[in-house]
Structures are given as C-alpha cells and as structure tokens.
Amino acid sequence: MVTAVAALAVAPGAASAWAPAATASIHPGVQTVTSGGQCTANFIFTAGGSTYIGQAAHCSSTGEATDTDGCLSGSLPLGTQVEVTGASRPGTLAYNSWLTMQANGETNADVCAYNDLALVKLDPADVGKVNPSVPGFGGPTGVGGDSAALDDVYSYGNSSLRFGVTQLSPKKGKVVQTEGNGWSRTVYTVTPGIPGDSGSGFLNGSGQAIGVLSTVALAPLAASNGVGDLSRELAYARAHGLPDLALANGTEPFTTNVVGAILGAG
C-alpha cells in the first residue's frame, strides 16, 4: 500500500500561496525524466501536506513500449528519483498505479489497461517554485467527468522531439470515442501527441482536468491518442493509500483561445 508522507514544507492551501504563474519554473507541462525516459507532467496535486507533480505510470516502465497492461508490466520502484525541469533537486516517485494494482491483485481488465497515473513528490526546497496553471490555457478548474464524442479537449505537450519549438505545445482536439467502460477516451488533436508527450494533462471545454495522455496509437485510429480518465485514476489512488489526494486548481483563468496560447508559448 502506498502512503503519503508529510514533507518538511507544507503544500500551499490557497491560490495566493503558489508562485506567480509568470515566473514559476515548475508547472503542468514541464518535462520529467525517469531513468533516462522523458515524459510530460500533467497536473499538480497535494496530499498529506506534500506537493506532487503527475506523470504517466508507464514513464517508469522497465519493459517495452508495447507493454501497456499495468497489472503485468514492470516498473521502477517507489523511491526512484525523477528529474523535473525547473526543480533544483530530483523528485521522488511516490505513487504508481501499475505498482499499486499489482500489489493489490487488481483483476478488472479495464482498470489494468487504462489506469496509468504516477505521482512524483517534489523536494520541499522546490515547492515555492510551483504554480498549478496549465501554460497558455490556464486552469484547471477542477476535475471533470465523462466525455462524449466530439467534445472539445485542450492539452499542452512538451516532447523533446519538438526541439524546443514551444509554439507546437498547445493543442486543441476532439474526443472520438470512449472505451474501457469510461476508463479511457480516444482523442485527435492538432498537432497530435507524440512520444515524450506521454503523461500530458487534458482539459475539457470548461477547463476541468479530465485525463492523462497514455498512448500514441498507430492502429486502428492512426495518430490518435489514448487519454486515461483522471477522475477514475484519482479515485483509485485515494482508495489505495492517498485518501486526501487532491488536484490543485490553476491560479490563471481558463481560456479556449488556442491562437493566444500558441502566441504566448513563444
């Protein structure tokens, strides 16, 4: 069972306690590197007085890229150091849904296939550098629920394969379908998510956090992305060791202005 351990620095409890969005070096969309593997952080979370940044569970995988069943796939252990862009010290892998499912003998096929969330506890020295707002779009405004086909989605990818061209990071897309009894949704975005964007957070049209980029599909829907359902992933984490886990809302108002987000990314 995963337990939250209180840090020496207390997570901010109000929007005014976060670093200003304009100068914060740690926020949704920064790169994370786990044992050489690069991913993109999704959102900021708090639990037990500590501050966490989210990534996909598969970012710490020890298997092949095709190993996507979290109940069978190997992962680096809790306590593994994770480099977080903007942080002065490595974070620590504190929760991994794959490890948690394996420890608890999870047998639900949908959960095994789509529960893909990990939390990296930030070093107390870096908590003062955090702002939970999504670059360009602002928010999140809370945790959203299920999606319907053709719903709008917004995301911020930060793959190193873009070679630092940040104008390609803000993305808008559409939900194509849901699957896994609500545990995942297939989306298309412009531009599509690419390797290294894994773990990116997705917002709905109201700015609510709805998902985590888990897969980049080649078939049957080429260039589509599989986005795990954040509300279910958080509920699972709360039921298995992190009862007070909470999403940190952004301090900046949410906007659907993609052009503005792209221009601001420069």
DSSP per residue over 40-95, as a string?
A: E---EEEETTEEEEEE-GGGGB-S-TT---TTTS-BPPTT-EEEETT-SS-EEEEE
Are 26-132 and 152-228+253-264 the same fold in CATH? yes
For the chain, give every domain's residue range.
Answer: 26-132, 152-228+253-264
- The second-level CATH assignment, the architecture, of 152-228+253-264 is Beta Barrel (2.40)
Q: Which residues pair with 53 in a beta bridge?
A: 44, 120
DSSP letter for 143, please. Answer: B
DSSP letter for 129, please. Answer: G
Question: What is the value of pTM for the model shown?
Answer: 0.90
Supply the CATH classification number for the domain 26-132.
2.40.10.10
**Phi–psi pair at 96, nearest 5 degrees:** -145, 120
Q: What distance in Å separates the CA atoms of residue 184 and residue 265, rounded to the nearest whole number?
A: 28
Question: What are the pLDDT tens digits along the chain (266 aa)?
Answer: 333 333 334 456 555 689 999 999 999 999 999 999 999 999 999 999 999 999 999 999 998 877 889 999 999 999 999 999 999 999 999 999 999 999 999 999 999 999 999 999 999 999 999 999 999 999 999 999 999 999 999 998 766 555 455 655 788 999 999 999 999 999 998 765 556 688 999 999 999 999 999 976 544 555 678 999 999 999 999 999 999 999 999 999 999 987 777 666 54
